[in-house]
Structure 1
Amino acid sequence: MPVALIAGASRGIGRATAIHLATLGLTTYVAAEGTAAQLGETEAACRAAGAPDAAHGIFDLAQPGSAERMVQAALTRFGRIDVLVNVAGLRCQKLFGDFTQADFDLLMAVNVGAAFFASQAVLPAMRAQGGGRIIHVASQMGTVAAPFNTIYGMTKAALIRLAKSMALELSPDNILVNTVSPGPIDTDFIKNRYAGDASARTAMEARVPIGRFGTEEEIAEVIGFLATSRGKFLQGADLIVDGGYVIH
């Protein structure tokens, strides 16, 4: 079975992606800095979905060298990585002018650095295998600006540019590199943000042309498309999955 490494799979879009890839016949290695219980739940769900050999590892992707260790752990376990999905990401919402050096360093390390170094680390294996897929999960905020999210948006724009540069260089190796940029998705972040304020949630959903937030599973399905043979002619693309939010 082909093997997928999903970084940032303890919950949310990462967990949904791991489970969906398992249904598509991929063995999944799920990694994050979450708790053993969280990752164990993701692993169990993947096994139930069709990946009986699914495994997990705990890695703090803010720490130098952690992304490389994550890749090596998956290779040691399975001997190959066919798909790398970089989902791990953090947000820090402040007015521009109030961010600290620590804020900047942390978001750059997790949102950009982890994807960058995991991608570099997986290259020898993918080249030896004759190809692979690398998918970065960015955000619509990498394309459109939003208040309080300067660093977050900057890191997501960097991921989009990273994918394009990687795609250009790695095409001869049959390694396809793309990004998926979700819009407003009904994750725990959104649920917590609008908890107890149904009117604010309704107002925000009204800003989405199709009239609702997306689901984690809908993003996972797009990632699954890129991870399989159905997406074999997409290279260096940024797929914005936001219900039309950025067009109005």
Structure 2
Amino acid sequence: MAELCVRSVLVTGANRGIGLGLIQHFLRMPTPPQWVFAGCRAPQRAQELRNLASKHSNLVIVPLEVADPASIKAAAVSVGERLAGSGLNLLINNAGISKINSIDTETLEDMTQVYTTNTVGPLLLGQSFLPLLKKAAQESPGSGLSCSKAAIINMSSSAGSIKDVYVWELAHVISYRCSKAALNMLSKCQSLAYREHGILCVAFHPGWVQTDMGGSGSYKPPLTVDASVGGMLKVLSSLSEKETGTFLDWEGKVVPW
């Protein structure tokens, strides 16, 4: 299996959970990226990230609120300045929120907030970082697609699978499910629109992971952050043009739409 080899990566929602786990794994790689950008809403409160940044000169904490278009544009400018003419290989849209509502208690306010963060955010991030992703693809030799060249990874969930309706009996989370189903369609659309630019796009189900969001109910999720992230990075290293526009889990299995 080829090793994932990227010069630069941006992870959103990087202050905790899966996002923080991704940052830690990238920094521990035998050949770590030259630039690891960790996007988070409140850098001043992201103590674990700050501790890592004090030990790793290639880690840059980027203020980023994915529900705010101005914040996204400012982050793109900041990252572009750091890259100094080079492209961004990997954009991982990991930031997400959930509201514990049933179909009877769901509200316009919660639905809009969750959809804006989980679906519109990744759309706007793709738009703003497209020039840097295109630059990375142009810098990479070869005609095929890969995560080492240029890719957008959207962190989805089997909860957004219309066929499976994952763990419905445990949590209805209507706005979350709808936002992730929409994110899956966005991933497909991005794969079609950005393929000509040499950019691979996939949606990922990281598994049911032991995080603040995933473990907020009465059931303990079966997966650790370390196991989920390690599995996803192995899968990312092997992706090619055949997988662009697909919905995969942390073990590389296809998840039904």
TM range (shorter): 0.7 to 0.9
Aligned to 2:200: 176
Is residue 37 of structure 1 aligned with residue 45 of structure 2? yes
**SS of equivalent to 1:168:** helix
Structure 1 vs Structure 2 CA RMSD: 2.6
Residues 67-86 of structure 1 correspond to what in structure 2 (within 5 A)? 67-79=72-84, 80-86=87-93
Deviations 1:7-57 (A, max 9, x none): 11010000001111223312211011144231x522543675xx5321102
**Alignment correspondent of 1:9:** 14
Task: Quickly say closer, same or farther: Cα 1:32–1:111, change in 2 above 3 A.
Answer: same
Superposition pairs for residues 211-230 of structure 1, below 5 Å?
Answer: 213-225=222-234, 227-228=236-237, 230=238
- Secondary structure at the counterpart of residue 92 of structure 1: coil
Query: What is the distance in 2 between the residues matched to 1:243 and 1:127?
Result: 25
* Alpha-carbon shift at residue 179 of structure 1 (Å): 1.3
- Match of residue 210 from structure 1: none
Corresponding residue number in structure 2 for 1:106: 113
In structure 2, distance between residues paired with 1:225 and 1:119: 23
Within 5 Å, which residues of 2 pair with 1:169-248? Answer: 169-194=193-218, 201=220, 213-225=222-234, 227-228=236-237, 230-233=238-241, 234-241=243-250
Higher helix fraction: Structure 1 or Structure 2? 1
The 3 A distance-change label for structure 1 pair 231 and 31 is: same
2:104 to 78, 97, 106: 97
**Residues 94 and 161 of structure 1, relative CA distance in 2, 3 Å threshold:** same
Pair 46,157 (structure 1): closer, same or farther in 2 beyond 3 Å: farther
Q: Measure, in 2, the Cα distance between the counterparts of 1:151 and 1:190.
A: 15
What is the Cα deviation at residue 136 of structure 1? Answer: 0.5
State which drifts further: 83-92 or 172-181.
172-181
TM-score normalised by the chain length of structure 1: 0.81
> What's the counterpart of residue 135 of structure 2?
128
Give 1:149's aligned residue. 173
Q: Aligned match of 2:63 in 54, 58, 61?
A: 58
Percent pairwise identity = 20
Residue 140 in 1 paired to residue 145 in 2? no
The amino acid across from 1:136 in the alignment is N
Distance in 2 separating the partners of 1:159 and 1:15: 21
Structure 2 CA distance for partners of 1:126 and 1:64, relative to 1, 3 Å: closer
Q: Which amino acid aligns with 2:18?
A: I
Distance 1:44 1:133 in 2: 28
